[in-house]
C-alpha cells in the first residue's frame, strides 16, 4: 500500500483503530461492542460500526472453528490460550441467525441468546440499525405477551400460542379490541414475532406515540408439512413446473385458524369479533398463508398484510368473490435486496400487482425496506408501517 | 462373566435388549426414546428406562467429544460417518442441565431445548419420573404466563418478569386473587419456574383437581451480585469462617420486591393486597432470600416456603418480632440426596429447626423429595406440596 493511499484511508476512518481481517484484505474498524442480544454477562459475540460480527470461543483442542453467518463461513484464528476469534464481513442492519462450526459440528454460540429459525433454536445477533428506536424497549406503557396452552378440536391435541394485549387492556374491562393474526415464516414458530420480531415493543411504541390504535395480536404456529411422498414437480424442457406449493397446501392451517384459534381468542379475550375488526398478516410462508386464507375468506378479514410473501393480482380477485369489495387494505412489502435479487416462487411482480389492484379500486400499500433482505429487519419495518393503517 | 451370572442378569433385565457402554462395564438397556424437551423433529438426545442420557452429534473432524452431565464427563465414540454417540450413567428422575464438549469447547447440544441455569442458556433433559403426571400438560383449563416489561424506580431501569394468572382470571373480572412471589436459584433467572419448573402446569393441574385455591404467581429476577471486592472469609484454624453470605446481602432484592414489584403487581392485577393473601417462596438462593425478606417483613407475608434453601430456627424468631404470631405457614423442603450429603452454608439441621418451630407453636411443614438432589425435580415437588397449603 502506498503512503498516499494509506493516508487517505486513515483520514476516511477518522480516529478509529483498525486491524486487517483474516478473511479479507479490507481493514476492520476496532470499535466492537457486545451484541444487544447476548446472554447477560457475556462479552462475545460483538458487532462493530461496519456491521461486522466478531465471535470468540475457547476450543483448545480444535483444528478448525468457523463463524457461519449470511450463508458464508469465516475461519477463526486460535490464540495462544486456545481461544478462537474472528469476524465476518459487514452485515445488513437488523437481526441475523448464525452458528459456529467446531471441527465439523454445527452448534449455537454459547455467548448469544437463542431464537427459533431455520428449523432450530440457534444463535442470533443484532446489527444496530439507524431506525432501531421504533423497536427499542422504552419506559412507555407496555402491553403483555401472554403464553397460552389451549386444546384444539381440529387437531385433537394441545396447541401453544402467544397473545399480545395492549397496555390499557386490563385498565377498562369493558373495552373491546380489534385483532391482528400475525404469522411467522417457514422454519420459524410462534415465538418469532415477539422475540426477534419485537412485535410487542413495536406496538407499545406506536400506541404510546398515538400512531396506532391499540389492538390484540395473536401469534400462533402455522408450521405446515407437505403430506409424505409429495414432491416438487421438476421443470420440463425449460417450461416452469406445475404450481408450487400445490393447491390446498394452506388448508390445514386455515382450518385450525378458523375453527380453533379465532373462536378460542374471541371466547377468551375482549375482541370485537367481526370482520371489520380482524386483520391477518404474515412474513414469507406466513404471507403466503395470509394470501390463501384471506382470498378464501373475505367475509372474515378486512385487512391483509403480506411481508416478503408474494402479492395479490387482479387475476386472484376473479376467483375470490367479495374480496375486492370487503377488504379495506392490502399491504405488500419486501426488503429492497429481495427485489434486486428476485426470489422465485412468489408469483408475479409484487409492485406491479399491487399497483394494478389500486387501479382496480382497492386500497393498497406497497412498502420497500431499504437495504435489507429476506430477514427480520424487513419484517419489523413492515409491521411498523402496517400497524398504523389498521382499524381506522 | 460366568454363565450363571449372565443368566441371572438376562432374567433381571427381562426381554430388553442391551449393549455395553464405553463408559462402564454395566449393560445399557436399549430402549432409548427422544427426550420430551427436545427441539421439534430432533431424535437426540434420548433417555432410556434406566435414566441414561444418550447424545449424538456430527463432528467429523473432532478429536474428542464428551457429554457433560451431573458433574461427570462421558466420552462419546465416533462412528464411520463422523457422528459421535454415547451415553451417561443413570440419572435421577426429573430435569437436568447438561452440555457437550467438542475438542475443549463447551457448547449446547443442538438437539435439546435451552434453559437458563448455571448462569447460561444451555441444554436440558427430562428423565421421566414416576410422578410426572402432576406437571404434565393436560387438557384442563389453563392459566396464562404473562411476560411483563415494567419500569423500576428503585433501579431506574426497565425490569422483566412473568406473572401466572389462573385459568378463571379473565372470566369474572370482579374476582380478586392471592399472590405467591416465587423465586429462582443462583445462576438462574425469571424464566426458570415457568420453563423447567413448570409452575404454571403444576398449578393448572392442582386447581383443576380442586386441590389448590387459584392464585397469581409472580416470577421475577432475584439475581444478586456481591459488591466488587467482597470476599468469602476463609475458615481460621478449623473454626468456621464468619457469616456467609454477609449480613445485608438480600437488601437489594428486598427493596426491589417491596418498592417496585409488589406495588406494580397490586396496581396491575386483581390481587387481594393484604399480608394474609401474600406468600413468598424460593429455591436455593431464592429460599435464602425468602428467609431474610419474610423474617424482616412479617407484616407483609403470611406464607413462607424455602425449597433447598435453608431453614428458620427459634433463634431467628427472637430477632423477628411478629413473625411467629403473624406467619401462618413455614414450609421447608429438601431433596433426599441433599440431606444425605449435607450441603454446607445453609445453616443448622433443617428438620430439627422446623420441628423446633412447630414445638414453639408455629404451623410448619417439612417435606423431603425422594431420591432427588439439589435439582428441579425437588423444587417441582416442593411447589406441588406447598401450593395446596396456601390461602386456606
pLDDT digits (tens, 9 = 90+) for A167-179: 999 998 899 999 9
Interatomic CA distance for residues B306 and A146, integer angstroms? 28
Residue-wise pLDDT tens digits, A223-251: 977 767 777 776 666 555 667 778 889 99
Beta-carbon count within 10 A of A326 CB? 17
Q: Is the peptide bond before B245 cis (omega within 30 degrees of 0)?
A: yes
Q: Do A139 and B121 lie within an 8 Å CB cutoff?
A: no
Interior angle at CA B378, CA B377 and CA B382, nearest 5:
115
Residue-wise pLDDT tens digits, A52-111: 999 999 999 999 999 999 999 999 999 999 999 999 999 999 999 999 999 999 999 999
Same domain for B207 and B165, yes or no, is: yes
Interatomic CA distance for residues A9 and A30, integer angstroms? 14
Same domain for B98 and B164, yes or no, is: no
A59 located within any domain:
yes
Element at B242 (helix H, strand E)? none
Looking at residue A25, its pLDDT comes to 58
Give per-residue burial for B221-254: e unless 16+ CB within 10 Å, then b: bbbbeeeeeeeeeeeeeeeeeeeeeeeebbebbb
Extract the C-alpha cell encoding B81: 460417518
Nearest CA-CA partner of B62 in A104, A212, A208, A56: A104
B346 located within any domain:
yes
Q: Collapse the DSSP code of B116 into the 3-class scheme (helix H, G, I; strand E, B; otherwise coil) and give the result.
A: strand
Within 8 A of A144 by CB-CB distance, chain B residues are 146-148
Q: Is the pLDDT of residue A299 over 70?
A: yes
Residue-wise pLDDT tens digits, A315-345: 999 999 999 999 999 999 999 999 987 654 4
Domain boundary among B93, B109, B128: B128
Element at A390 (helix H, strand E)? none
Residue-wise pLDDT tens digits, A31-47: 999 999 999 999 999 99
Q: Do A62 and B105 lie within an 8 Å CB cutoff?
A: yes
Within 8 A of A39 by CB-CB distance, chain B residues are 120-121
- Grid-cell match 382470498, residue found: A295
Nearest CA-CA partner of A165 in A121, A213, A209, A215: A215
Interatomic CA distance for residues B275 and B266, integer angstroms? 12
Q: Collapse the DSSP code of B77 into the 3-class scheme (helix H, G, I; strand E, B; otherwise coil) and give the result.
A: strand
- CATH classification at residue A258: 3.40.50.1820
Q: Does the beta carbon of A57 lie under 8 angstroms from any beta carbon of chain B?
A: yes
Number of domains into which chain B is organized: 2
Same domain for A337 and A205, yes or no, is: yes
- Grid-cell match 372470566, residue found: B171
Q: Considering the entire predicted model, what is its pTM?
A: 0.92
Same domain for A173 and A276, yes or no, is: yes
Q: Is there a contact between B86 and B21 (Cβ–Cβ < 8 Å)?
A: yes
Picking from B41, B59, B148, the nearest residue to A105 by CB comes out as B59
Same domain for A137 and A71, yes or no, is: no
Q: Give residue B342's domain range.
A: 133-225+245-389
Looking at residue B7, its pLDDT comes to 44
Looking at residue A306, its pLDDT comes to 98
Within 8 A of B100 by CB-CB distance, chain A residues are 107
Picking from B59, B113, B170, the nearest residue to A121 by CB comes out as B113
Interatomic CA distance for residues A357 and A73, integer angstroms? 42
Q: Does the beta carbon of B238 lie under 8 angstroms from any beta carbon of chain A?
A: no
B236 located within any domain:
no
Higher pLDDT, A160 or A21: A160
Beta-carbon count within 10 A of A304 CB? 27
Q: Is the peptide bond before B45 cis (omega within 30 degrees of 0)?
A: yes
3-state SS of A203-262 is HHHHHHCCCCCCCEEEECCCCCCCCCCCCCCCCECCECCCCCCCCCCCHHHHHHHHHHHH
- Grid-cell match 421421566, residue found: B128
Q: Do A41 and B119 lie within an 8 Å CB cutoff?
A: yes
Looking at residue B199, its pLDDT comes to 98
Average of per-residue pLDDT values in chain A: 92
Same domain for A85 and A62, yes or no, is: yes
Nearest CA-CA partner of B182 in B283, B40, B301: B283
B17 located within any domain:
no
Judged by average pLDDT, the poorest of A6-10, A129-133, A369-373 is A6-10
Same domain for B149 and B71, yes or no, is: no
Q: Is the ipTM above a cut-off of 0.95?
A: no
Q: Is there a contact between B350 and B334 (Cβ–Cβ < 8 Å)?
A: yes
Q: How far is A16 from chain B (nearest CA, A)?
A: 31
Query: Strands across the sheet with A77-78, in order?
Result: A33-34, A46-47, A53-58, A83-87, A77-78
Looking at residue B11, its pLDDT comes to 42
Which of B144, B160, B174, B194 has the most A C-beta neighbours within 10 Å, making it the best mutation to test the interface with A?
B144
Interatomic CA distance for residues B259 and B248, integer angstroms? 17
Interatomic CA distance for residues B268 and B371, integer angstroms? 41
Q: What percentage of chain A reaches a pLDDT higher than 90? A: 83
Same domain for B202 and B299, yes or no, is: yes
Same domain for B39 and B115, yes or no, is: yes
Within 8 A of B122 by CB-CB distance, chain A residues are 110
Q: Do B121 and A39 lie within an 8 Å CB cutoff?
A: yes
A251 located within any domain:
yes
Mean pLDDT of A135-159: 96
Helix B199-208 to helix B376-386 angle, to the nearest 10 degrees?
Answer: 30
Within 8 A of B158 by CB-CB distance, chain A residues are 137, 139
- Grid-cell match 416470577, residue found: B219
Query: Which long-range contacts does A29-35 make (Cβ < 8 Å, 24+ apart)?
Result: A32/A87, A35/A112, A35/A125, A35/A126
Looking at residue A240, its pLDDT comes to 55
Same domain for A43 and A81, yes or no, is: yes
Q: Do B82 and A63 lie within an 8 Å CB cutoff?
A: no
Parts of chain B with a pLDDT under 50: 1-3, 6-15, 344-345
Interatomic CA distance for residues B125 and B331, integer angstroms? 28
Domain boundary among A128, A157, A184: A128
Q: Is the pLDDT of residue A283 over 50?
A: yes
Same domain for A164 and A100, yes or no, is: no
Q: Is the peptide bond before A207 cis (omega within 30 degrees of 0)?
A: no
Cβ within 8 Å of B, A 109-148: 110, 113-114, 119-122, 137, 139, 142, 144-148
- CATH classification at residue B52: 2.60.40.10
Q: Is there a contact between B70 and B96 (Cβ–Cβ < 8 Å)?
A: yes
B371 located within any domain:
yes
Looking at residue B240, its pLDDT comes to 55
* pLDDT band at residue A200 under the 50/70/90 scheme: very high
Mean pLDDT of A274-285: 98
Bridge partners, residue A123, by sequence: A98, A114
Q: Check the CA dihedral B226-B198-A137-A96 and report its sign.
A: positive
Domain boundary among B75, B98, B128: B128
Burial (CB count <10 Å: 0-12, 13-18, 19+), residue A312: buried
Same domain for A140 and A289, yes or no, is: yes
Within 8 A of A194 by CB-CB distance, chain B residues are 147
Within 8 A of B59 by CB-CB distance, chain A residues are 102-105
Q: Check the CA dihedral A323-A325-A329-A333 and report its sign.
A: positive
Q: What percentage of chain A reaches a pLDDT higher than 70? A: 90
B38 located within any domain:
yes
A54 located within any domain:
yes
Bridge partners, residue B67, by sequence: B74, B100
Q: How far is A261 from chain B (nearest CA, A)?
A: 15
Looking at residue A10, its pLDDT comes to 42
Give per-residue burial for B138-169: e unless 16+ CB within 10 Å, then b: eebebbbbbbbbbbbeeeeeebbbbbbbbbeb
**Chain A residue closest to B141 (CA)?**
A150
Element at B122 (helix H, strand E)? strand B120-127
Amino acid at each position: 500500500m502506498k503512503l498516499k493511499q494509506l493516508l487517505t484511508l486513515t483520514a476516511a476512518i477518522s480516529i478509529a483503530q483498525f486491524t486487517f481481517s483474516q478473511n479479507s484484505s479490507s481493514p476492520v474498524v476496532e470499535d466492537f461492542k457486545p451484541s444487544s442480544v447476548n446472554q447477560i454477562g457475556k462479552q462475545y459475540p460483538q458487532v462493530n460500526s461496519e456491521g461486522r460480527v466478531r465471535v470468540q470461543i475457547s476450543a483448545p483442542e480444535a483444528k478448525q472453528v468457523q463463524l457461519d453467518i449470511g450463508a458464508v463461513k469465516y475461519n477463526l484464528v486460535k490464540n495462544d490460550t486456545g481461544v478462537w476469534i474472528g469476524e465476518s464481513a459487514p452485515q445488513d442492519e437488523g437481526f441475523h441467525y448464525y452458528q459456529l462450526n467446531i471441527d465439523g459440528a454445527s452448534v449455537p454460540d454459547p455467548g448469544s441468546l437463542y431464537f427459533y429459525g431455520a428449523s432450530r433454536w440457534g444463535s442470533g445477533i443484532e446489527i444496530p440499525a439507524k431506525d432501531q428506536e421504533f423497536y427499542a424497549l422504552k419506559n412507555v406503557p407496555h402491553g403483555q405477551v401472554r403464553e397460552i396452552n389451549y386444546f384444539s378440536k381440529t387437531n385433537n391435541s394441545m396447541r401453544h400460542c402467544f397473545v399480545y394485549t395492549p397496555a390499557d387492556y386490563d385498565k377498562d374491562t369493558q373495552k373491546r379490541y380489534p385483532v391482528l393474526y400475525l404469522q411467522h415464516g417457514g422454519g420459524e414458530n410462534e415465538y418469532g414475532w415477539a422475540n426477534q420480531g419485537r412485535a410487542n415493543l413495536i406496538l407499545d411504541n406506536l400506541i404510546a406515540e398515538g400512531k396506532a390504535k391499540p389492538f390484540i395480536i395473536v401469534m400462533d404456529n402455522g408450521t405446515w408439512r407437505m403430506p409424505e411422498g409429495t414432491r416438487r414437480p421438476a421443470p420440463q424442457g425449460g417450461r416452469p413446473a406445475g404450481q408450487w406449493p400445490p393447491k390446498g397446501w394452506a388448508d390445514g392451517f386455515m382450518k385450525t385458524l378458523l375453527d380453533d384459534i379465532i373462536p378460542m381468542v374471541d371466547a377468551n379475550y375482549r375482541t370485537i369479533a367481526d370482520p371489520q375488526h380482524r386483520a391477518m398478516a404474515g412474513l414469507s410462508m406466513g404471507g403466503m398463508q395470509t394470501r390463501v386464507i384471506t382470498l378464501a375468506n373475505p367475509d372474515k378479514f378486512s385487512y391483509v398484510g403480506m411481508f416478503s410473501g408474494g402479492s395479490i393480482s387482479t387475476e386472484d380477485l376473479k376467483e375470490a368473490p367479495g374480496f375486492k369489495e370487503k377488504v379495506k387494505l392490502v399491504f405488500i412489502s419486501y426488503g429492497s435486496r429481495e427485489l434486486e435479487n428476485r426470489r422465485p416462487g412468489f408469483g408475479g411482480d409484487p409492485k406491479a400487482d399491487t399497483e394494478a389492484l389500486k387501479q382496480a379500486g382497492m386500497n393498497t400499500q406497497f412498502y420497500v425496506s431499504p437495504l435489507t433482505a429476506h430477514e427480520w429487519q424487513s419484517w419489523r419495518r413492515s409491521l411498523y408501517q402496517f400497524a398504523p393503517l389498521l382499524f381506522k
